[in-house]
Amino acid sequence: MTALTIQTQPIAGQKPGTSGLRKKTPVFMGPHYLQNFVQAIFDAIGGAAGKTFVLGGDGRYFNDRAAQIILKMAAANGAAKVIVGQNAVLSTPAASHLIRLNKTDGGIIMSASHNPGGPEEDFGVKFNMANGGPAPESVTEAMYQRTTEITEYRISDAPDIDLGRVGPTTVDGMAVEVVDSVTDYAALMETLFDFPAIRAMFAGGFRMRFDAMCAVTGPYATEILENRLGAAPGTVTHGTPLPDFGGMHPDPNPTWAHELMEEMFGADAPDFGAASDGDGDRNMVVGRGIYVSPSDSLAVLAANAHLAPGYAGGLKGVARSMPTSAAADRVAAALGIGQYETPTGWKFFGNLLDAGRATICGEESFGTGSDHVREKDGLWAVLLWLNILAVRKQTVAQIMADHFAKFGRNYYSRHDFEAIATDKADAMMAALRASLAGLPGQTVEGMEIAGADDFAYTDPVDGSVSQKQGVRVMFTDGSRIVMRLSGTGTEGATLRVYLERFTPGPDGLDHDPQEALAPVIRAAHHLARIGEFTGRTDPNVIT
């Protein structure tokens, strides 16, 4: 067995987005494509020699073969050890935990998150730093730069190893430790939540449904919810991870998790419903007959986190992405703790968590987490909800009603226009940006525009600046429109339109969000001229 040096040349388009490099699976399977990017990762972090990494993925198509390639490249680049999940599978939060638990130099996660999987669908690779969080922009930019100049990569000619057998082995002299994917993560959850109280709630007849969407969270949810907490067998549905996610779109929102929504709004619905995504870092929460938006979920979790043992001492602060509603800000203000507004992308929360400024973070895109890892964590959010339900002994609907009565309601929705021609999307955003200076003072749909800008963020910890993070239009009544192009797709551009309207109460807190937001929706279409630029008037997904 020897380390081979393979001649290559740059491949265009290997620029990581908000969560690594994502492309169609056949692209990743093309000659040198994966190898070039992995070598660029190693080169950008100062080499792999003597370092220890975590490796795992969400089990999507090509996950197993990609893992073997990455292991052989790590060995040829001189890595000392790789800790890999059994069968090369790890949820993203579990991978983050293993990086932190074992004090490794980082980890490579193979996932396209909530994107569909399969031979013709999506694949992705990202690097997480030694703190367990996604690589910051300075590192991803270095990776990209390296992909534009790469001339060779190193890979061992060692045979594949059995990743199905837990225990130690080697690849061309490099230590490899195959670990059970679930055990360490489940143990961490037991330190954070009141398992006896949740177990007693289930024993008392509480019923829930967890839709794992044929994705990575299935084994984690089955072990924790059914085996450790005593939820009824069958609580976890679509619990077996499949390379193509069973043909499902593993994105936990009302559109794609429609089976769960139908059950939770149907006759004899369970008390609580939840879903998670392809790699386990996102969550959707539903009560009997009530959908909880991610922005509201973040606010409720922040307001009630002290009920869980791991957060009994209170929170240091709450951080949210800029497009996420301001509901969590109202909780932070009431608690007298820090509140932070960051660009989209979990990597922006890392400095706040590491510096002890924030404890809980969240994004409107169904991501919530805390300082227990440096990734959003779908099952963590579900367990915190269960802990709150067990202590408060109320229904989800009652908890939401109490929350709105106390803090008011931020009506909120996101409209996604997917697979727009990139040139048309860019032209629309350019025109919108050009109009911003003239918007303040104008009245649209009966609402006066108080301000408009292109959000820029200065990190309060390291002083780094991120520009052009999304166009904001703010109205004098507290309503808000945010528009940005997403970096998580693999085809064309996705326009995300975020819509928010605050109602202080006590009246008007129980309207349908789309009805309450109707004037804001019309204003967004008018200001951005969405139909004119894209030819589209209706979004693909509404959340």
Which residues are paired to 321 by β-bridges?
342
Cα(109)–Cα(20) distance, integer angstroms: 9
- List the one residue out of 214, 379, 400 whose CA is nearest residue 297: 400
Main-chain phi, psi angles of 362, to 5 degrees: -160, 155
Cα(151)–Cα(359) distance, integer angstroms: 43
Q: How far is CA 311 from the centre of its chain?
A: 22
Cα(103)–Cα(397) distance, integer angstroms: 42
Which residues are paired to 237 by β-bridges?
211
SS (H, E, C) 522-534: HHHHHHHCHHHHH
- Catalytic site residue from 113, 295, 321, 325: 113
- Exposure string of 172-206, with b = 16+ CB inside 10 Å and e = fewer, is bebebebbebbeebbebbeebbbbebbeebbeeeb
Cα(458)–Cα(343) distance, integer angstroms: 10
- List the one residue out of 353, 309, 81, 292 whose CA is nearest residue 188: 309
Structure letter (DSSP) for residue 103: T
Cβ(136)–Cβ(350) below 8 Å: yes
Which whole-number Å values give the CA distances from 499 to 107, 302, 406, 520, in the listed order? 36, 22, 22, 7
Taking each helix axis as running N to C, give the angle between helix 378-392 and helix 92-101, from 0 to 180 degrees, rounded to the nearest 10.
90
- Token pair belonging to 11: 């491949």
Cα(71)–Cα(63) distance, integer angstroms: 12
Q: Which amino acid is at 390?
A: A
End-to-end CA distance of the chain: give it in Å, rounded. Answer: 52
113 in catalytic set: yes
Q: Is 220 helix (H, G, I), strand (E, B) or coil?
A: helix
- List the one residue out of 467, 474, 461, 528 whose CA is nearest residue 496: 528
- Tell me the pairing of strands 493-503 and 122-128: unpaired
- List the one residue out of 175, 181, 179 whose CA is nearest residue 166: 179
- Token pair belonging to 4: 């081979």
- List the one residue out of 62, 91, 86, 368 whose CA is nearest residue 215: 91
Q: Which residues are catalytic?
A: 113
